[in-house]
Structure 1
Amino acid sequence: MLLLTEDQTRDALPYPDLIDALAKMFRSGCVMPTRHHHDMEIPGEPDATVLLMPAWVPGGYAGVKVVNVVPGNSERNLPAISAQYLLSDARTGEMLALIDGGELTARRTAAASALAASYLARSDARHLLVLGTGRLAPNLIAAHMAVRSIDEVTIWGRSREKTEEVVRSLADQFPVKLKSATSLKEALGEADIVSAATLSSEPLIKGALLKPGTHVDLVGAFKPSMRESDDDLVKRAEIFVDTRDGCLSEGGDIVQPIKAGVLSPGEIKADLYELCRGDHPGRQSEEAITMFKSVGAALEDLAGAILAYQSVEH
């Protein structure tokens, strides 16, 4: 059985290829049962979450990802997410590969955001604002740079010190103007694309502050109790999601405004299936504010795992 380390998984999933693999899988589809989602108590700190995410292409490949999300790890200087992905032959059941799930998750998450942005962000988008200083931040930058000509990146985090540290660490990695946000309010008004990857339970992105034509990408807040956007943004924006089922049940940025009567499920314009299949054209106006919410889908992991396996084996 093939074993792919974090570095090997990263090398096997270049963003242009991964974004293309996701688009093809959303067009063709796969079997994707509802994922198992369990809270796991940890004394003295926030609950952890255990996720089990299966998917398969009949007669092709099958896979399952096991994910542990531990918010308290930020205090231990450890990653919040630990995961592994097991890929199998869906015809014979043979176990083919064990792939580093953390790297796969980070890259497919960012690739899904970039795939959405390829339909929803203005073609002349240049300035990217990233909220969050965790593992996803550099991945979101790289992924968005694969679909838009980004030449300026601003990073905002709750800790100014950590944000500055992240900016310094990424300076040699990206050939763009890279800076930390001194004011989130000002940064929100300047950005063409706002990409948020936080575990916030209170809205960080105020819709009233965004300029016309902004695209907002919401990656964090994966529980109904979490939220990164406010009601003003929901009211102003054209709403898109990765999968309707996932976001209607799990994403607080969709679940909470629906519960409050601010948004109805029918007002969601399209999901990635519909965008990739041409059922919805995506952005239709230069002035529109677009909002994309993702909670992740096993389809994305399967597409990435197949790409990683095939690129190494062939």
Structure 2
Amino acid sequence: MNFTEYPASELRYLPRAAVIECCAEIDVLAVVEDALVRHGRGQTMLPEEAYLGWETSAGTAARSLAMPGGLRLSGGLALGVKTINGNLGNPDRGLARSQGLLMMFDPEIAWPRTIMESAYLSATRTAAVTALTARLLGRPGMRGAALIGCGTLAKAHLALLPAGITEVCLYDRDPLRARALAEAVRDRIEVRVAADAESCVRGRDLVVTVTTVTEGYLPFEWLAPGALVAHVSLDDVLPDVVRRAGLVVVDDWDLVRHDHRRLLGRLHRDGLLLGPDGGSHPGVTPEPSARRVDTTLAAILTGAHPGRRSEHDVVLSNPFGMSILDIALGQAVEEVAARRDAGVRLAM
């Protein structure tokens, strides 16, 4: 038996190839910057994420994230939810660690309107945040970058290298993966492969961690004066980097402090890290030596915080990853797809 309140309707499905084609017509950095500014002005909706973790039959850790969000744009609301699933064992199978879907909603009837592959969008917006952070917080004249981890996110970062970077050093626990990535980009930038993480990091102006590690290994002493650390994979630096950095920046403090699986969230729960407002974790007495998170990227973009204080300060950026960035890009992709009639129409 059918129901008359469910008339025939369609949604648009955009596979990865269509998403990539649409993104080629979008100024990704401008879209991500606009979303961050709107977040700083209170024009976004960012609920908590839902997390499902499990262990595969092979004993590797896997998880699924559901990340809803919305933005108030001049033309109305942009609403959606991203699901992104990952398995730490996938690279050993020759597979990307993560894959998922982004679902965009019709804000008037609340039904799904568009579904698109989200792994490409997720990697692209992550690299865009790093590029924006480097523009805002990189020390003057920075030239050398270190990329720790040579998977999908490393490739996305190399596609959106900040202006001024002329030399990149790569390191991966799998030397073959690092060498393959170096060969793929050698014709457009000076690149070399390091034998270990320390030699990759030392002397670099920009350090980007894009790994799958769950234990820290990167101490403050490896970092050059004035270095900017884009702590993308969130568990690579040791606590002394947080403690000694001249500036600690997050994208959204509420997301960071609620996540006990990542370094800054653990430090907050242990009383070693305070929020930008000086607040401690509920029920926790902070240690006398606890440091405060300085600000958010949005606050710097909107001028509410001045950002870097000295060209000699080490700056730690800890971008948790916000759904609103995926949704802002998804909205832009939707507009291009509608104009091109891209993707496939699916009956609901």
- For the pair 1:165 / 2:180, whether they are aligned, the reply is yes
Question: Deviation of residue 152 (structure 1)?
Answer: 0.3
Match of 2:203 among 176, 179, 190: 190
- SS of the residue aligned with 2:191? strand
Q: Does structure 1 residue 117 correspond to structure 2 residue 144?
A: no
Counterpart residue number, 1:75: 92
**Pairs within 5 Å for 1:35-184:** 35-57=49-71, 59-143=76-160, 145=161, 147-172=162-187, 175-184=188-197
Shift of 1:270: 1.1
Determine whether 1:252 maps to 2:262: yes
Amino acid at match of 1:264: L
Q: Determine which of 203, 206, 212 is the counterpart of 1:199.
A: 212
Change (3 A) 1:296 1:62: same
Work out the percentage of aligned pairs sharing the same amino acid.
23
Determine which structure has more spread, i.e. the larger CA radius of gyration. 2
Contact 2:219 2:240 (C-alpha < 8 Å) held by counterparts: yes
Q: Could you say what secondary structure the match of 1:153 adopts?
A: strand
Secondary structure at 2:104 match in 1: strand
Q: CA separation in 2, counterparts of 1:23 and 1:15?
A: 17
SS at match of 1:195: strand
Counterpart amino acid of residue 230 in structure 1: L
How many Å apart are 1:259 and its aligned residue? 4.2
Pairing 1:286–2:303 present? no
- Where 1:60 maps in the other structure, the secondary structure is strand
Partner secondary structure for residue 190 of structure 1: coil
Cα deviation for residue 261 of structure 1 reads 4.6
Listed as ranges, the gaps of 5+ residues in structure 1 are 222-226
Please, what is the CA RMSD of the aligned residues?
Answer: 2.0
Paired residues, number: 305
TM-score with structure 1 setting the length = 0.90
Q: What are the ranges of 5 or more consecutive residues in structure 2 without an aligned counterpart?
A: 1-10, 279-291, 340-348
What amino acid does structure 1 have at the position aligned with 2:205? Answer: D
Partner of 1:303, secondary structure, is helix
Aligned CA distance change for structure 1 residues 232 and 71 (closer, same or farther; 3 Å): same
Check whether the contact 1:234–1:257 (CA below 8 A) recurs between aligned residues: no
Q: Give the match for residue 224 of structure 1.
A: none
